[in-house]
Amino acid sequence: MRGRPLLYTSYESDQAIFNTMAKKVFAGLGLLVLVLLPFNVVPGLGFLAAGDWLRLLSTVAIFVIGGLGLNILLGLAGQVSLGHAFFMGVGAYVAAVLGGDPEGVRLGFGLPLWIWLPAAGIVAALIGIAFGPAAVRVRGLYLAFVTLGLVFVGDYVFRNWISVTGGAEVGRTFPPLQFRLWKEEEPLIDFTSDGAWLGIELISEAKTFYFVLAAALLFMLLAKNLQRTRIGRAFQSIRDRDIAAEIMGVDEFRNKLRAFGISSFYAGVSGALLASFVGTVIPSRWDLFLSIQFIAIVLIGGAGTVAGVVLGTSFVILLPRVVQDATLWMQDVVKEGDSLLATLLDLVVATDSTDFGLVNTLPGIGPGLSVFQLNQVIYGLLIIGFLIFEPLGLYGIWIKIRNYWKGWPFTY
């Protein structure tokens, strides 16, 4: 079939993960770039090799896992959940109890990563399944609010269960990302300290990045495969019309339970990784805004696709940093003065209390927003802008661009 990339002669090749050559090449190249990032060899992306950017990229990878979970529930099975943060919290605390320091103040058994990470997912999944029947009874928006209740009940439990969570405003430390076979002193692989791997010097941020990247890739592969299985198709039929699905023999009850279970598994793993990555987490971390952030990730990326989740997560996590750097740069330009650009920006930026400007470089006083408040406003505006101008999300934009070039020069 050489030269006719869109001609599929079997169901398998149509359903393949990379069903075109271009996808294969791009996925391979993308992976290559990601793997090479910490070595500062990719032209134009050198700044990403710095520790703080690698940390942000690791955060993206961790949120991708959580986002994939919500995507399975929301994008595939069509069930809206505002309770994702709760399941992440459950995962995080399971990890903390199993992997935590046995001599520490809080409950901990000091078990290795290969136990606490899967366990975080499994326990979260069990609670998700236990919650499933409610989801069968309550539908649509009402389901969203039932799951919202879950966040608040979870917050209450997390605040009060001090031996496990450390309590409100104190929190606890989480097991570091270190791979041990059992409880030996020296970890077999340590993702949290600088040093050489196979003779290559790596900073700790790079190691952590590789670990979470690998985890994210694994979960992406699983999510992509789930879509192509019988279960995935059952989820989609429930999403499209639950009664029709039932008439066709899809068991609504069982599949909704499954959807909640799988989604919560992803959330649990993501929560455990996030807590372990940050090191210290207070119970209010698992609040409604985290849940909403995940809904934003799925919707901005484009519900229902794995690539969309990756795009959406990158957008939501990296945007605040980009906006912050831009506003700080603007402030610097104005402070240095003289150039034409500075004069232009000075119209927007106020440098002292008598100067007029939409933005004020003095936090807390005078009219106008501070740089940091502007940062928040731009973040909000971009979220709105995206949804207004491209309701299909970033993935939709990509499809448009692709289709444009596919038919080029015939743009119809």
Applying CB under 8 A, among 21, 182, 195, 241 the residue interacting with another protein is 241
Burial of residue 102 (CB within 10 Å: 0-12, 13-18, 19+) is exposed
Question: How far apart (Å, rounded) are the C-alpha atoms in residues 210 and 62?
Answer: 11
Taking the complex as a whole, the smallest distance from the CB of residue 402 to another protein amounts, in Å, to: 22
190 three-class SS = strand
Question: How far apart (Å, rounded) are the C-alpha atoms in residues 379 and 397?
Answer: 19
Using the rule CB under 8 A, is 181 a contact of another protein?
no
Measured from the CB atom, the residue of 332 and 407 that comes closer to another protein is 332
Q: Between residue 348 and residue 407, which ones bind another protein under the rule CB under 8 A?
A: 352-353, 362-366, 369-370, 372-373, 375-377, 379-384, 387-388, 391
DSSP strand pairing (178-179 vs 349-350) = unpaired
Q: What share of the chain is helix, strand, coil (3-state, %, to 5)?
A: 65, 5, 30
Question: How far apart (Å, rounded) are the C-alpha atoms in residues 61 and 143?
Answer: 28
Stretch that binds another protein, among 12-20, 84-92, 118-126, 398-406 (CB under 8 A): 12-20
Measured from the CB atom, the residue of 120 and 146 that comes closer to another protein is 146
Taking the complex as a whole, the smallest distance from the CB of residue 300 to another protein amounts, in Å, to: 8
Q: What is the dihedral of CA 199, 202, 208, 211, to 10 degrees?
A: -30
Residue 49: CB atoms within 10 Å? 18
- R_g of the chain computed on alpha carbons: 23
- E strands, 313-381, are 349-350, 359-360, 369-370
Using the rule CB under 8 A, is 341 a contact of another protein?
no
Q: Between residue 33 and residue 72, which ones bind another protein under the rule CB under 8 A?
A: 35-36, 39-41, 49-52, 55-56, 59
Stretch that binds another protein, among 182-190, 277-285, 340-348, 402-410 (CB under 8 A): 277-285
Using the rule CB under 8 A, is 282 a contact of another protein?
yes
Measured from the CB atom, the residue of 122 and 355 that comes closer to another protein is 355
Site string for another protein, 197-236 (x = CB under 8 A): -x-xx-x-x---------------x---------------
Question: How far apart (Å, rounded) are the C-alpha atoms in residues 34 and 31?
Answer: 5
Query: How many C-alpha atoms does 272 have within 13 Å on its Cβ side?
Result: 30
Taking the complex as a whole, the smallest distance from the CB of residue 56 to another protein amounts, in Å, to: 7
Query: Which residues partner with 179 through β-bridges?
Result: 189
Taking the complex as a whole, the smallest distance from the CB of residue 181 to another protein amounts, in Å, to: 23
Measured from the CB atom, the residue of 207 and 285 that comes closer to another protein is 285
Question: How far apart (Å, rounded) are the C-alpha atoms in residues 297 and 28?
Answer: 24
Structure tokens at 400: 């448009």
Question: How far apart (Å, rounded) are the C-alpha atoms in residues 93 and 100?
Answer: 9
Structure tokens at 178: 């270190």
Applying CB under 8 A, among 5, 22, 26, 104 the residue interacting with another protein is 104
Residues that bind another protein (rule: CB under 8 A) add up to a total of 99
Q: Between residue 116 and residue 155, which ones bind another protein under the rule CB under 8 A?
A: 134, 137-142, 144-146, 148-149, 152-153
Question: How far apart (Å, rounded) are the C-alpha atoms in residues 106 and 99?
Answer: 11
Taking the complex as a whole, the smallest distance from the CB of residue 365 to another protein amounts, in Å, to: 5
Question: How far apart (Å, rounded) are the C-alpha atoms in residues 374 and 362?
Answer: 12
Applying CB under 8 A, among 279, 329, 337, 404 the residue interacting with another protein is 279
Measured from the CB atom, the residue of 226 and 299 that comes closer to another protein is 299
Applying CB under 8 A, among 169, 185, 186, 338 the residue interacting with another protein is 169
Applying CB under 8 A, among 4, 243, 340, 410 the residue interacting with another protein is 243
Stretch that binds another protein, among 26-34, 87-95, 262-270, 333-341 (CB under 8 A): 26-34
Q: What is the largest CA-CA distance in the chain?
A: 73
Stretch that binds another protein, among 166-174, 249-257, 335-343, 402-410 (CB under 8 A): 166-174
Measured from the CB atom, the residue of 342 and 383 that comes closer to another protein is 383
Cα 297 versus chain centre, distance = 7
Measured from the CB atom, the residue of 221 and 344 that comes closer to another protein is 221
Return the closest-CA partner of residue 89 out of 382, 346, 285.
285
Taking the complex as a whole, the smallest distance from the CB of residue 141 to another protein amounts, in Å, to: 6
Measured from the CB atom, the residue of 24 and 406 that comes closer to another protein is 24
